[in-house]
Structure 1
Amino acid sequence: MTLAPTAQTSRLERALAVRIPLSPEVVLYALVFAAAIALRFWDLGSRALHHDESIHAQWSWGLLQGNYRHSPIFHGPFYYHVQAAAFFVFGANDYTSRLTAALAGMAVVALPLLLRRRLGPVGTFAAVALIAFSPTLVYFSRFFREDIYMAAFTLLMVVAMWRYIDEGRDRWLYVFAAGFTGNVLTKEGSFLVFAAMLVYLDLYTAAILARRTLAGRSERFLRDDLARLDVSALAPPERAAAEDRLRASAALDTPVRRFALAVAFAPYAWVLVAFWPFIGPLRRRLDWGDDLPRPAGVLLLLGTFCLPLLTPVARVTLLEPLGIIEKDRLSWEKRLQGPIDVRDAIALLGLFTVTTSMAAFAGLQWKPKLWGIAFALSALAYLTLMTSLWTNLNGLVSGPWGSLDYWYSQQDAHRGEQPWFYYYLLMFAYEFLPLALILFGGWWAVVRGDAFSRFLVTWLVGIWLALSWGAEKMPWLNTHIALPACLLAAWCLQRAWDSWKDRPPVSARLLTSLGSAALVAFGALLAIAYLPGGQAAALFRLGLAAGAVAVVVVIGRGLGAGAWRPVAAVAIVGALAPFSFRTMVQAAYERGDVPKDLLVYTQSSPQLKDIADQVNALAAATGLGYDLPIAVDTTDSFAWPWAWYLRDYRAVSYLDFSTGEPPGQYQVMLVAAGNLGRIQDYLARPTTTQYAAPVRYPHRWWYDETYKWAMAVEKGQACTSNSGNCGPFRLATWRHIWNGITERGWLNAWARYWRDHDPGRPPGSTDAYAFLPANFDPAAGRLRSEPVEPPRPTTDSEGRALFGGAGYQPGQFFSPVDIERDAAGNLYVIDSATKRLQKFDSEGNVLQSVDIRVDPQDRNEQSEPWGLAIGPGGEVVVADTFGWRIRIFDAGLRPIATFGQPPTGATPGPFDLFGPRDAVVLPDGTVWVTDTGHDRIQVYTLAGEFVRTVGRPGSGPGEFDEPVGLALGPDGAVYVADMYNRRVQVLEPDGSYRSEFRVEGWGGQDVTDKPYLRVLADGRIAVSLPSLNLVRIYTPDGRPAAEIRPTAEPLSRPYGMVETPGGKLWIVEGGAARVRRFDLPD
């Protein structure tokens, strides 16, 4: 009889046949993963690409065109290659440019599932959830930078390390090697994580060796004691008792001894591991045995893989200090970016041969087959991507040598210019939920935890300290602190749950009790966060907090002994999780490209994408398509992100407009605001394309980093890693912090920011102008034949009179800053960008215009006027701030006098003007000028003769720190905007001190945050606050009385002001390039 063949099922069929039981746990995981996917992939393309994102996207797109070459400046090649693959499959746009980052973010969410043995069921779910909803990790999973890829590879290494330690399977060492390779192909900062891992593995190995030594010695002592004691004559019970007493007396493995011995072994553990086969006598003497501890195997693998890539560090730590090579000879940045000398190539080859041989010596004597295969595959993958699939052999140098050589040398650059406490700000602002859980359960993790929890502590503390110590501090690096924080918090939750030994089975009563604790905690914190200020509210807050704690305690006691820890943990999660979720939504979705969050260092503004759409519409309307001629200003890296958005255009010219006007004709010009003055003549030529009024937009804007100046221990120096003398080891620093908490309301300010994530100040920005043809209608996206209307006065949406607007025609502005009115009612406005002084009638119709420069044809002449004053004879005084001078014109705008010069020495002379910002003319005809950079006021005659100096640097009466605006009172008193001292000083006509009053909102360090003053007819003082977009009115004795702060059309960088005879106030809006008239509030 012939048997029928047995049906063979494929692996795929077996996998599809698996049925997952639909348990509550599976449902919860499904919901969390669905939310994580939505949070990372939904609406990825809505935010404008950040400067660095655009470079990475452009380089990835360029890889498909065959022109990518690895450069350490923009990190490793891995994510460029995977992103190029995404572009190849899905096309290139803003959404797909972030696709692989979102995938890496999902990998970070999923990988904790492989740590379930160590995290436990509650801890694993908590880790997945905390990572899925982490504000930091969600934000940077939607951001095309290398850090989220590095986080994924780091977590893969952690998973592989602990799976190998637990299981001993070699496959996990291969996974560990793959994670290492991906890390070094992504970012050089991975070596900081490797350092934390190596330190821990060394300590863990030392602890295991200490335990083996103590256990071996204990066993040996026990055998000796038993040999000396004759127990044969004893009855069995007595014999057993005697043996137990001997065993107890011989036991040496106590926590104290183990700790002391581990500390002794730790400095040498890595050396012992490297030479393990050769130290047999020592191993036998110390009872270590023959088998290498599993953590030691991971230590050896990681150390030997790191060693060759650490070769470049020898240049600055060994070779140059010992004089073996001359300084910078092997510097990649300075010498090795192109073809290199044969001698240098031989030197590099020799250095790598030495370190690779050392690594191979240690690795091959451990597990020769495993180490050899893993190292070969790792090196092959590394060099293949570094050389762009072997098409760029310079990658053999830029990768293994250039990567670490470049970034090690960049420590002096202090990128980000952030203070030592930067990551404390970020973590407590965004990762407050895991931090609270760590503070709650950290003691368990360190003192009563296991090897895994202590690893998580070492990882978190190590990377936090390393990043805080490093010179470069950027918000995306917080990714590498947030990840171990989430895992450690999850471990703490599992430990809290496990501590409840007699917990009842899950039931409706249990869930109701835990839910009640969470709801009470959240309700209390919600009320506390939104209660108004005041002493009564503070007392109520304390009572509310105490009441919430009492309720949670009652709930815990009702659940039985030992329930307080899990109930407290649930209360912490319940109180903080909604706030954390809201913070994440605000940062990642509500204002992803509006820098109100500390997570945003600098960001392309959303207007940039609008302009890109208009350029595309213009290209289609003209029929020129991708041959549309476009000029892009490259000053201050303005080419990015335009190089990405204009990647398909073939007629784009990237020009440095700071060197002069552009050659040729262009349908579109994108010009940095600071270069507008250099293209005035070009725009005025009849042969130039006639442009419509240009659109001013923030090209890049950034979070207002007032915390640097708030922490300024030394006056005038921001607290950064490179300045301020505000380090954590100075008593003055902590005294300053204490004063800020007790006297300056820092805790209240921080609580408001934690709650709202709104700094209360507009972001700083570097602006640009987009010039489009006058016959193009951006709203309709088509060409039009109507002629361009000359500018004329108009009104805003609420009927307020205004004139100006962005443009180069007479009557238009780019950066108007100050305004004055003459006896006839004519208005004068100075424009710092175009250097034009324009004269208008009382309603804003342009009458006359003049370039205030001595020679407008001289492109090298320095000039940037900021201040105006009117003399008794109609003279117009112009403070040319960065022309370092004063220019005086008659009523017909003809120049009649010029005086002042740039500073010539340490002690300024009477005519040395360091950024004269404003001027005022007294009834006696003297001209008072704020010599801002010298912190003084210089007094001259209208003919330019020096009279006297008023004031000196300082903060006392009659002293100044950044004096800016000037105004004249009805009694001849002079009002001075003492900016950095945050006050207005009132001086007598002879320059002596009269009085002062404080101005809250002054003191900002932005170069465009310069306030002006105007004394009104009723004696009140109008004060502009450009950074807050408001004008505040003070009473004559210095009390705030009213504000001009419209809501429908807010003020935009208000500067100079002038009152009309009818009691209205013209306000110059530098940010909107216009002048608007307001009713004066009572």
Structure 2
Amino acid sequence: MQFILRAIEYWSSAKYFSLRLWDSFKSIRPPRTFVGWTYVAIITIAIITRLWDLSGRSLHYDEILHAWYSWMYSQGMGYSHTPLTHGPFLFHGGAASFFVFGSNDFTARFLPALFGIFLIGMPYFLRNEIGKYGAIFASIYLLISPSFLYFSRFMRNDIYMAVWALALIIIMIKYQRSPRFSLLFAWAIIWALAYSTKESAFLLAGTIGLILIFQTSKALWQWIKGNRFLSDIGPSGDLLIVLGTCSLPLWAPIAGTIQSALGVILVNPDPNDPRVIAGEIIRSNAVTGAPVGGSLYIAAFIFLVLLILSVAIGLLWDRKRWPILAGSFAFIWLILFTSFFTNWQGLFTGVWGSLGYWIAQQAVERASQPWYYYLLGLMVYESLAIVLATIGSIYLLLKHRTNFNLIIIFWAAMTLILFTIAGEKMPWLLTGITLPLVIVSGIVIDKLMHQAMSLYMRVRIYLVWLLLFIASPIIILYVILPSKPFSVEIYYIGILIGVIALIYSVVLIFQWKNATNNWPSLYSALPILAISFICVWAFGIGASSVRASYSYDNMEKPRELLVYSQTGQETSYAAKCLNRIKLMSEDDIRILVDESDNFAWQWRWYLRDFNNVDYRPLNQGPIKELPEYQIIMMSKASENNHVNSLGAYRRTGELHHLWWFPNYAYEQLTLPKILDGAVSSQGWQTIYDYQVRREMGSSMQRSNGIIYIADQLTDDVTSCTKRQ
């Protein structure tokens, strides 16, 4: 009874807090400062860039998986969590979007786009720590970042995880400065959402947990010795205990990493594990990542021990607050993993399967990417962030070792290290790596912007250096590249811009001398030089971002490293064509879709509103009942089997139903090769060809398909696979 009364008391305080938030929201007025209006402009551009032509690109291979099961959930067919597709938050969010707005490519990506918009504004809440200029830079960089723009217009979990990660950092910093229950409550809720979104939450929890352990090590040691109460462990200790006790039972499958020494199978290996193939370890005919046989009881015992330990530590810390915080965490986690209590198997797949499955995947190394894959991705898309963060971290560690700076640098370094160690490497994980790099870069930019000089003189000098940095690449590229990238006229224009900038810089140097009675020093000029260079560099980052996310040429012939396995753009063109035919036809259309060569994958989503669709493999010989169908879609590899049966059909187009970026284009890179390329014109030509033209020596891998339409339906159809 006492627990219920306490719960009512705390939930009442939460309701009071939410009412205060609503009152604060109603009292919002137009901004009165430069920073405020800058953020209004940034968020406005963010809304446009995230929602503009959101459905233009065909859904990616993985997006179709997520959209399909979310749509089934929204149609009342239920949802069952499986670790293969990560956490249930994405499917609940996707189903909600489809239920409210209808199902299409736009609504599939609508919630990720909203999260992408929100993420861009979040550095504002760290402006006191980063600095106002640093916060603005961080938001602008998140706005123009190729990986963030691309994957905030993408139905995957990673943009959600970026929001949760930055929100947790913000809450941690705010709570350490001013402990409030509302912040601790938000801390528990967001951790529940993070664990329900993707298993990378375990890496994030490990990183933040280490930070909090370092900060509270002295207090923890005093508690262990009996010289301090656990309730008096300090703000960082509060955060650590809530994180640790709420999530500790979810870490139980980590015992599977030592199962060989124990002689049990707590985490069933994946069938593609090289050790299983070589016969070095045994795999049971059970679910990957699950305990096998009697090990199930050992797994249950480990979980219960960790659960009891969590409850004991939590109650020892605070008998009043901990039940509310842990209960809120458990409630959100439980309703998502059990699909609002309709799938109780989700209790097991969430508690053991989530981490267990991905421990089993570690040795498989799906996608077979080299260890430097993320470094390559960062240099192609986020070079400004990685260079600024690397140089800036050294500077901050030497000159500005504040608590906040140390936290962000550690977060950035650990994220890159852990993701590099992880067996599976995918392009969408660049968002999690880039985010802390952007925050570090923002801190560095703020230091550069606060150099001692009037704003008027600073802007004029920035203009000079901008002109120089625009002219320099034109001149350098024309001189060093064997294949001239542009005409000689452009080269001369670059020289002219450079000469004008140099003349104007001489004028400014004398103006500086007259204003300050001192000649400008190299120390005072370096920040201006750096900011100008960064502005030009950021322009290039933005151009790369626009090309990756909006270019239809890029969609139809993808050449981006951000692509792992992309559905062909012609798929969405064909889907629109088939829907037009459906509207024009009086009778229900029968469609046959080839299941061979993975051709049917995307059509389950794009043909979800068609009633008569049959799926069968067409690569095993002719099918006699072809005339029963008005539309036949098949892999090109199956076409020869049916040439004699397609006389009553017209070929209305070919499509690339799947693209892959070729790993062999970069998997043989070595340090000697990189150094050799850095001092040769051909090496720079290769960099220029890909960075600027997106041309590479290796072709994208692809699978092709064909669409046949019955003659009686083709009067108004010329092609189904071209952009209309």
- TM-score tier after normalising by the smaller chain length: 0.7 to 0.9
The equivalent of 1:637 in structure 2 is 598
| Counterpart residue identity of residue 158, structure 2 | D
Structure-2 separation of matches of 1:136 and 1:338:
31
**Quick check: 1:159 aligned with 2:170?**
yes
**Quick check: 1:568 aligned with 2:529?**
yes
The equivalent of 1:380 in structure 2 is 331
Structure-1 separation of matches of 2:292 and 2:547:
53
Residue from 426, 444, 448 that aligns with 1:474: 426
Spell out the pairing of 1:867-906 with structure 2 (5 A cutoff).
none
**Quick check: 1:521 aligned with 2:473?**
no
The equivalent of 1:54 in structure 2 is 64
Give the direction of change, closer, same or farther, for the CA distance of 1:655–1:116 in structure 2 (3 Å limit): same
Query: 1:49: Cα distance to partner?
Result: 0.6
Give the direction of change, closer, same or farther, for the CA distance of 1:742–1:18 in structure 2 (3 Å limit): closer
TM-score (norm 2): 0.84
Q: Which has the higher helix share?
A: 2
Spell out the pairing of 1:708-723 with structure 2 (5 A cutoff).
708=666, 710-711=668-669
The equivalent of 1:620 in structure 2 is 583
Structure-2 separation of matches of 1:635 and 1:535:
43
Query: 1:389: Cα distance to partner?
Result: 0.6
Structure-2 separation of matches of 1:338 and 1:300:
28
**Quick check: 1:312 aligned with 2:312?**
no
Residue from 38, 45, 53 that aligns with 1:35: 45
| Counterpart residue identity of residue 667, structure 1 | Q
Residue from 168, 171, 189 that aligns with 2:200: 189
What do you get for the CA RMSD once the two structures are aligned?
3.7
The equivalent of 1:132 in structure 2 is 143
The equivalent of 1:222 in structure 2 is none
Q: Which moved more, 1:140-149 or 1:632-641?
A: 632-641
Query: 1:24: Cα distance to partner?
Result: 3.0
Q: C-alpha deviations, 1:691-728, integer Å up to 9, x for none?
A: 112532111113344533553xxxxxxxxxxxxxxxxx
Q: Which has the higher contact order (CA 8 A, sep 6+)?
A: 2
The equivalent of 1:19 in structure 2 is 29
Residue from 609, 614, 618 that aligns with 2:572: 609
Structure-1 separation of matches of 2:661 and 2:482:
29
The equivalent of 1:958 in structure 2 is none
Q: C-alpha deviations, 1:347-378, integer Å up to 9, x for none?
A: 54433211111222333222333332111111
Give the direction of change, closer, same or farther, for the CA distance of 1:751–1:293 in structure 2 (3 Å limit): farther
**Quick check: 1:403 aligned with 2:354?**
yes
Q: Which has the higher strand share?
A: 1
Aligned residues: 673
Spell out the pairing of 1:663-742 with structure 2 (5 A cutoff).
664=625, 665-677=628-640, 679-680=641-642, 683-685=643-645, 690-693=648-651, 695-708=653-666, 710-711=668-669, 733-742=670-679
CA contact (8 A) 1:333 1:406 kept: no
Instruction: Name the SS for the 1:769 alignment partner.
Output: strand
| Counterpart residue identity of residue 321, structure 1 | A
Spell out the pairing of 1:772-791 with structure 2 (5 A cutoff).
772-777=709-714, 779-780=716-717
Q: C-alpha deviations, 1:947-966, integer Å up to 9, x for none?
A: xxxxxxxxxxxxxxxxxxxx
Residue from 276, 279, 283 that aligns with 2:225: 279
| Counterpart residue identity of residue 434, structure 2 | A
**Quick check: 1:442 aligned with 2:390?**
no
Query: 1:289: Cα distance to partner?
Result: 11
Spell out the pairing of 1:954-1033 with structure 2 (5 A cutoff).
none
Extract unaligned runs of 5+ from structure 2.
Answer: 1-18, 272-282, 486-490
- Percent of aligned positions that are identical: 28
Structure-1 separation of matches of 2:408 and 2:524:
25
**Quick check: 1:486 aligned with 2:438?**
yes
The equivalent of 2:277 in structure 1 is none
Give the direction of change, closer, same or farther, for the CA distance of 1:39–1:553 in structure 2 (3 Å limit): farther
Structure-2 separation of matches of 1:643 and 1:495:
53
Instruction: Name the SS for the 1:412 alignment partner.
Output: coil
Structure-1 separation of matches of 2:542 and 2:676:
33
Instruction: Name the SS for the 2:658 alignment partner.
Output: strand
| Counterpart residue identity of residue 617, structure 1 | R
CA contact (8 A) 2:468 2:497 kept: no
| Counterpart residue identity of residue 328, structure 1 | N
Query: 1:433: Cα distance to partner?
Result: 2.2
The equivalent of 1:145 in structure 2 is 156
| Counterpart residue identity of residue 300, structure 1 | I
**Quick check: 1:759 aligned with 2:719?**
no
The equivalent of 1:459 in structure 2 is 411
| Counterpart residue identity of residue 152, structure 2 | S
Query: 1:99: Cα distance to partner?
Result: 0.1
CA contact (8 A) 2:253 2:355 kept: yes
Give the direction of change, closer, same or farther, for the CA distance of 1:62–1:338 in structure 2 (3 Å limit): farther
CA contact (8 A) 2:411 2:436 kept: yes
Give the direction of change, closer, same or farther, for the CA distance of 1:467–1:11 in structure 2 (3 Å limit): closer
Structure-1 separation of matches of 2:88 and 2:530:
42
Q: C-alpha deviations, 1:178-224, integer Å up to 9, x for none?
A: 22111111111222222222233333334xx3xxxxxxxxxxxxxxx
Extract unaligned runs of 5+ from structure 1.
Answer: 1-8, 210-271, 712-732, 784-805, 807-1082
TM-score (norm 1): 0.57
Structure-2 separation of matches of 1:638 and 1:58:
16
CA contact (8 A) 2:137 2:445 kept: yes
Structure-2 separation of matches of 1:378 and 1:334:
34
CA contact (8 A) 2:230 2:317 kept: no
Instruction: Name the SS for the 1:390 alignment partner.
Output: coil
| Counterpart residue identity of residue 298, structure 1 | L
CA contact (8 A) 1:522 1:576 kept: no
Structure-2 separation of matches of 1:521 and 1:675:
54
The equivalent of 2:274 in structure 1 is none
| Counterpart residue identity of residue 100, structure 2 | V
Query: 1:412: Cα distance to partner?
Result: 2.5
Structure-2 separation of matches of 1:759 and 1:321:
47
Structure-1 separation of matches of 2:333 and 2:613:
35
CA contact (8 A) 1:618 1:782 kept: no
Give the direction of change, closer, same or farther, for the CA distance of 1:364–1:522 in structure 2 (3 Å limit): farther
Instruction: Name the SS for the 1:186 alignment partner.
Output: coil
CA contact (8 A) 1:97 1:144 kept: yes
Query: 1:531: Cα distance to partner?
Result: 5.3
Structure-1 separation of matches of 2:303 and 2:546:
48
CA contact (8 A) 2:662 2:699 kept: yes
**Quick check: 1:170 aligned with 2:167?**
no
CA contact (8 A) 1:329 1:335 kept: no
Instruction: Name the SS for the 2:377 alignment partner.
Output: helix
| Counterpart residue identity of residue 703, structure 1 | F
CA contact (8 A) 1:704 1:759 kept: no
Give the direction of change, closer, same or farther, for the CA distance of 1:380–1:341 in structure 2 (3 Å limit): farther
Q: C-alpha deviations, 1:246-301, integer Å up to 9, x for none?
A: xxxxxxxxxxxxxxxxxxxxxxxxxx73x7644224x6xxxx99942433332333
CA contact (8 A) 1:633 1:656 kept: yes
CA contact (8 A) 2:362 2:422 kept: yes
The equivalent of 2:371 in structure 1 is 420
Q: C-alpha deviations, 1:998-1029, integer Å up to 9, x for none?
A: xxxxxxxxxxxxxxxxxxxxxxxxxxxxxxxx
Spell out the pairing of 1:341-356 with structure 2 (5 A cutoff).
347-356=298-307
